Amino acid sequence: MISRYTHKNLTWVDIESPDKEEVRGIMEEYHVHPIVADELLSPTLRPKVDIYENCIYLILHFPTVIHKHNGKSEQEVDFVIGKNFIITTHYDLVDPLHDFSKVFEVNSILDKSNISEHAGYLFFYLMRELYKNLIEELDTVSNMLDDIERQIFNGNEIKMVKVISGAARNLLNFKQAIRHHKEVLESFELAGEKFFGSEFSYYLRAITGEYYKINNMLDGHKETLAELRDTNDSLLTTKTNEIMKNLTILAFVTFPLSLLAAIFGMKTEHTPLVGGSFDFWIIIGVMVAATFAMLSFFKHKKWIE
């Protein structure tokens, strides 16, 4: 599906899941190199930057946590950037591009910007919108980490093991998706300055700066999650040790009681107390006294509070 947006002499062509006929038409209209046209037909695993005579071809992958439409953890966006046109290609709905298309149609807003000077400025605003969406994705992860912290200190350590693993998977997928952005954007800085002129270099560095902002937030979330995992593991270990201590104490307390019960349960002629007056109550008293003696010993040793 092809959508076209124009502002003054600038054209933005947005293509979702292109077929051969659509790509062929775009290739002929904007003189796109056949190699680029071929790559637009299907997703590409490797991000890259290529510069041609009349355009720059750029591939980037953006992670998704909450804005998923096909179940995948990342979305690919291909950019073909010319002097007065930009072509974006993606293979499912990309929410930030869809939202920006609504803004692009409101010319009164665009007239207040320098977006119509050349397509490089449009690419800058598109990238800013895409990175803004990544900040929202990371805010969702941040809220998840806050909930994990509350649950940990509310005594739900066992339940949080799986939740922490899920959060770690999201952060790992996020990191994997943007791991090549730095190299690609640095290469684009060189190509963009050559293609659009040195006066555009500030905006090129600003795009890279947006990446660093995302990357720093991601590293902060990873450190927080690591601390939460360590805390959760420590509390789980403490709880397990407490349970084992209580079971051990219970075993030591019941051992003399079981021994006494076994001794006095023997059917022999010379078992002490058995057969005498109040023999049952005396034996019960001995057991209770043994229990208190064991508990007093454990408390003296500070094995129990």
**Domain end call among 186, 219, 236:** 236
Q: Which pair of tokens denotes residue 267?
A: 């059917």
Mean pLDDT of the chain: 80
- Note whether 116 and 154 are same-domain residues: yes
**Domain end call among 236, 254, 289:** 236
**Domain end call among 236, 256, 278:** 236
Do the beta carbons of residue 178 and residue 186 sit within 8 Å? no
Task: Provide the pLDDT for residue 107.
Answer: 60
- Note whether 31 and 163 are same-domain residues: yes
- Note whether 125 and 198 are same-domain residues: yes
| 268 pLDDT higher than 60 | no
Q: What's the domain count of the chain? A: 2
Task: Give the strand pairing for 85-90 and 10-16.
Answer: parallel
Q: Is residue 16 part of a domain?
A: yes
Q: For residues 262 and 256, what is the distance between their CA atoms, to the nearest angstrom? A: 10
- Note whether 79 and 160 are same-domain residues: yes
Terminal CA-CA length for the chain: 71
Q: Is residue 43 part of a domain?
A: yes
Query: How many C-beta neighbours within 10 Å does residue 92 have?
Result: 15
Task: Provide the pLDDT for residue 94.
Answer: 80
Can you tell me whether residue 14 is helix, strand or coil?
strand
- Note whether 209 and 277 are same-domain residues: no
Q: Is residue 48 part of a domain?
A: yes
Task: Provide the pLDDT for residue 67.
Answer: 62
Task: Provide the pLDDT for residue 277.
Answer: 63
Please report, to the nearest 10 degrees, the dihedral formed by the alpha carbons of residues 90, 132, 124, 63 taken in order: -40
Q: Is residue 63 part of a domain?
A: yes
**pTM of the predicted model as reported, rounded to 2 decimal places:** 0.73
Can you tell me whether residue 2 is helix, strand or coil?
strand
Do the beta carbons of residue 303 and residue 249 sit within 8 Å? yes
Q: What are 117-166's pLDDT values in tens digits?
A: 787 888 888 888 888 888 888 888 888 889 988 888 888 888 888 888 88
CATH number (domain holding residue 78): 3.30.460.20
Q: Which residue has the higher pLDDT, 65 or 193?
A: 193
Conformational region of residue 46, where left means phi above 0, alpha means psi within -120 to 50, and beta covers everything else: beta
The kind and range of the H/E element at 10 are strand 10-16
Mean pLDDT within 35-53: 81
Ordered DSSP codes for 48-102:
EEEE-SS-EEEEEEEE-SS--SSS-SEEEEEEEE-SSEEEEEESS--HHHHHHHH
Q: Is residue 255 part of a domain?
A: no
- Note whether 12 and 150 are same-domain residues: yes
Task: Provide the pLDDT for residue 300.
Answer: 72
Give the domain extent around 283.
265-305
- Note whether 74 and 141 are same-domain residues: yes
Lowest mean pLDDT among 52-66, 152-166, 191-205, 272-286: 272-286
| 299 pLDDT higher than 60 | yes
- Note whether 126 and 185 are same-domain residues: yes
- Note whether 199 and 275 are same-domain residues: no
Mean pLDDT within 97-109: 71
Query: How many C-beta neighbours within 10 Å does residue 285 have?
Result: 11
Do the beta carbons of residue 96 and residue 133 sit within 8 Å? yes
- Note whether 79 and 179 are same-domain residues: yes
Q: Which pair of tokens denotes residue 72?
A: 């995948």
- 152-156, 242-246, 277-281 — which one is most confidently predicted on average? 152-156
Q: Is residue 121 part of a domain?
A: yes
| 73 pLDDT higher than 80 | no
- 35-44, 106-115, 129-138, 235-244 — which one is most confidently predicted on average? 129-138
- Note whether 287 and 210 are same-domain residues: no
Q: Is residue 252 part of a domain?
A: no
Do the beta carbons of residue 50 and residue 40 sit within 8 Å? no
Q: Which residue has the higher pLDDT, 36 or 274?
A: 36
Binned at pLDDT 50, 70 and 90, residue 92 comes out as: confident
Task: Provide the pLDDT for residue 108.
Answer: 46
- 103-107, 185-189, 243-247 — which one is most confidently predicted on average? 185-189
- Note whether 229 and 275 are same-domain residues: no
Do the beta carbons of residue 70 and residue 204 sit within 8 Å? no
Q: Is residue 83 part of a domain?
A: yes
Task: Provide the pLDDT for residue 251.
Answer: 73
